[in-house]
Structure 1
Amino acid sequence: MSRKSTAFVTVDFENPGKQSGFIHIPHSPHEDAWGTTRIPIAVVKNGDGPTAIIQGGNHGDEYEGPIVLGEMARELDPTRVQGRVILLPAINIAAVEAGRRTSPVDGLNMNRTFPGDPAGSITQQTSAFVNDVIFPLGDAFLDLHSGGSSLDILPSGIIEPAPDPEHHKRNAAAVLAFDAPLTVVVDNLGERRTSTAASVAAGLTTVGTEMGGGGTVSLEALKICRRGAQNVLSHLGILERSETQPERTEGRDRPVLTIPGPPGYVFASANGVFEGYHPLGTEVRAGQEAGRVHHLGDPFRPPETLRYGANGILYGRRQPGRVVTGNCCLVVATPYEGELP
């Protein structure tokens, strides 16, 4: 039985040219009896070719994606397009406007709600609309993430594993075409409720990113993100390469890494303030001291020592000093040994 959504859009996905408008999801909180949650969307269509869906703002404290997609919505010339580009610059609009990872409306992390629920809360309805209405229109999906306010991550393209080997190769080829300084295979500890996992389940060629973070806007990550989005559209045949577009290396001579499951994460073992010992990019070893959690309110109590669980490079580092038990403090990435195109 098909899932029925009450959402409606103010663009026509089949019309040629450039359109900008909104996805409206009926929403009736205390302050508004017959209102809607309004999510920006742009569609650029011309000629024949594949459809790429590019999303930003899944987490509202990750800024590079929404900035780059806003630029594309304003500047992308339809005459350069062969196919269709669907832009979702601020898909989790309440979180984007609040600068929060989770929605202030229902407290949910959108990237743990797919495939969503068209009869659920606003976040669940939004992910259901993307899953049920937007994904079936597409051939490829590019989800632009950063580390957010809690993590600083080395800028990288992310390969979402696919169970089918040929699909996995398609994903890897598109991520290598994005041409980030690093490429990392990330399965989110087997989490299947993410947008990229749902995109893979829908059969789309899928590209993820992590573009810095720390709650700031990285100028270098913006450059990588702008260039990478253009590269993926060129890889798909939707855009021809412009004369001003730098030649991509498609990952040649660049490392491909993976997070080796639970040993790749260092979690806080107590409440306190985290002191990390190493900058991003440092080569580390399993068992090596990674940092300490200090008990500032009990200065006579020795700090808790944290250790790495895997060999590799330090890929992600917690940004706020204050931690509670279970917070992710550090992430280690190791060389990927799987097959690539």
Structure 2
Amino acid sequence: MRRRKRKQAQAGDYSRKHCTNGGRPVSETPHLTFDIDQPGMSKGHLVVPKGADCEALPLPVFSLNKGEGPRLLITGGCHGNELEGPIVARRLIDWLPEAQTCGRVIVVPVLNPPAVQAWSRNTVVDGLNLNRVFPGRADGSVTERIADAVSRLLLPMADIVFDLHSFGPNWDLPPSSTTHPIADADLMAKTVRMAEAFKFPMTLVWEHHDTSGMFDMLAHSQGKVFVCAELGGGTVGSEALAIYEVGVHNALIALGLVEGKAERPAFRQHKSNQTLETRSSDELKSPARGIFEPRCSVLDEVKQGDLIGILHPMDSLSANSIDLRASTTSIVCAIRSGAHVDVNEVVALLARPQSLKIYGG
């Protein structure tokens, strides 16, 4: 409770410092404060213009330009309660300038400062999810203006995007590189190969029902390879961060941006990489309100009828606990890490080996 009040106070502090009710119109266009094309390491800000709801936001940007080669954009902090991404992005700045051999890497550690400062998934100013409003609007609210600035100024500079997430605090998910199904079979194959290059314990092609306005969908529509890195657990831990950083380093090696030999990090005694797919029909949902108790772990192989978890109703004296079981042979790729859930809320994601051919079209 104290932590929640502290975060709410921080959100209020942010609004008082940066946001207004003065009804002022957007007074400028998004712009970079430095010459991003200059050779070597350079840094400055992507300025998101002020609007009626918020003052201008300067997003720190690092550019590492070593000439010809792949053009990569790395972003973190899209969701404010997923902090591994910003940490790993800043770690890259410590060693990548010396290690990079070619190409250009643009790093934006925090896309959404208001959300990160409030430890909130959505932007505290307008309540919007940044990863559901791309390509954004120049005359929109602050979240839409952030998306507009990134879409107009940074995305065109890249052929490949790594967006660093961490799945949120209420889920357990192994370090994973993820993408969504892509109709273009060639782009789908390139994207899966890039995702596999991270050598995380799991590569996941995730059919998601809520993809409108997502950053990767915009990039895919422009023919760009986009990989989202994810992990779960609710806390920022040293082991997970180490695996995360190794995975990004592996992907940079695969692109030829740095030299070296890829590593395959171990996670809970798992050292192999699996490429899986999960569809909307693979979501295991709660049949009632209650507290969900997980009874298996991520990467467990389960058969039809195996126990995934138990739902404990808490608002009835007569309701029995409900067993939630696997409907088919599958692999547990994500599971709620113990939480109060509502009716029809997802509590687990199940998956199976991935096949590219079903996505061609």
TM-score norm. by structure 2 comes to 0.82
Q: CA deviation at 1:76?
A: 2.3
Partners in 1 of 2:200 and 2:99 — Cα distance?
27
Are 1:180 and 2:200 an aligned pair?
A: yes
Deviations along 1:116-158, one digit per CA (max 9) or x if unpaired, are 2222111112122222221111111111121211211121121
Describe the shift of the 1:311–1:317 C-alpha distance in structure 2 as closer, same or farther (beyond 3 A): same
Q: CA deviation at 1:229?
A: 1.6
Q: Is the 8 A contact 2:51 2:142 kept in 1?
A: no
Q: CA deviation at 1:87?
A: 0.5
Describe the shift of the 1:5–1:333 C-alpha distance in structure 2 as closer, same or farther (beyond 3 A): farther
Q: CA deviation at 1:25?
A: 1.6
- Alpha-carbon RMSD across the aligned residues, in angstroms, is 2.5
Q: CA deviation at 1:170?
A: 1.2
Are 1:15 and 2:38 an aligned pair?
A: yes
Residue 275 (structure 1) aligns with = 293
Q: CA deviation at 1:300?
A: 2.7
Residue 255 (structure 2) aligns with = 236
Structure 1 counterpart of 2:238, one-letter code: L
Residue 75 (structure 2) aligns with = 55
Structure 2 counterpart of 1:298, one-letter code: S
Q: Which of these residues, 244, 257, 266, is aligned with residue 225 of structure 1?
A: 244
Q: CA deviation at 1:181?
A: 1.5
Q: CA deviation at 1:276?
A: 2.0
Q: Which of these residues, 265, 269, 287, is aligned with residue 283 of structure 2?
A: 265
Residue 214 (structure 1) aligns with = 233
Q: Which of these residues, 202, 207, 211, is aligned with residue 222 of structure 2?
A: 202
- Between 1:158-167 and 1:38-47, the stretch displaced more is 158-167
Are 1:329 and 2:352 an aligned pair?
A: no
Describe the shift of the 1:290–1:9 C-alpha distance in structure 2 as closer, same or farther (beyond 3 A): same
Q: CA deviation at 1:273?
A: 1.1
Deviations along 1:230-268, one digit per CA (max 9) or x if unpaired, are 222222222222xxx55469xx96321110x22211122
Q: Which of these residues, 137, 148, 158, is aligned with residue 117 of structure 1?
A: 137
Partners in 2 of 1:285 and 1:11 — Cα distance?
56
Number of residues of Structure 1 aligned to a counterpart in Structure 2: 327
Q: CA deviation at 1:180?
A: 0.8
Q: Which of these residues, 155, 163, 166, is aligned with residue 175 of structure 2?
A: 155
- Per the alignment, in what secondary structure is the counterpart of residue 47 of structure 2? strand
Describe the shift of the 1:135–1:263 C-alpha distance in structure 2 as closer, same or farther (beyond 3 A): same
Partners in 1 of 2:355 and 2:63 — Cα distance?
38
Residue 299 (structure 1) aligns with = 317
Unaligned runs of 5+ in 1: none
Q: Is the 8 A contact 1:273 1:293 kept in 2?
A: yes
- Per the alignment, in what secondary structure is the counterpart of residue 41 of structure 1? strand
- Per the alignment, in what secondary structure is the counterpart of residue 334 of structure 1? strand
Structure 2 counterpart of 1:307, one-letter code: R
Structure 1 counterpart of 2:43, one-letter code: S
Q: Is the 8 A contact 1:24 1:38 kept in 2?
A: yes
Partners in 2 of 1:88 and 1:285 — Cα distance?
42
Describe the shift of the 1:220–1:79 C-alpha distance in structure 2 as closer, same or farther (beyond 3 A): closer
Structure 1 counterpart of 2:228, one-letter code: G
Partners in 2 of 1:294 and 1:119 — Cα distance?
46
Are 1:69 and 2:92 an aligned pair?
A: no
Q: Is the 8 A contact 2:250 2:263 kept in 1?
A: no
Q: Which of these residues, 99, 108, 129, is aligned with residue 88 of structure 1?
A: 108
TM-score norm. by structure 1 comes to 0.87
Q: CA deviation at 1:70?
A: 0.9
Q: CA deviation at 1:102?
A: 1.2
Q: Which of these residues, 121, 128, 135, is aligned with residue 148 of structure 2?
A: 128
Describe the shift of the 1:99–1:24 C-alpha distance in structure 2 as closer, same or farther (beyond 3 A): same
Structure 2 counterpart of 1:52, one-letter code: L
Deviations along 1:39-86, one digit per CA (max 9) or x if unpaired, are 221111122222100111111111221111011124322573411111
Unaligned runs of 5+ in 2: 1-26, 266-270
Partners in 2 of 1:186 and 1:262 — Cα distance?
8
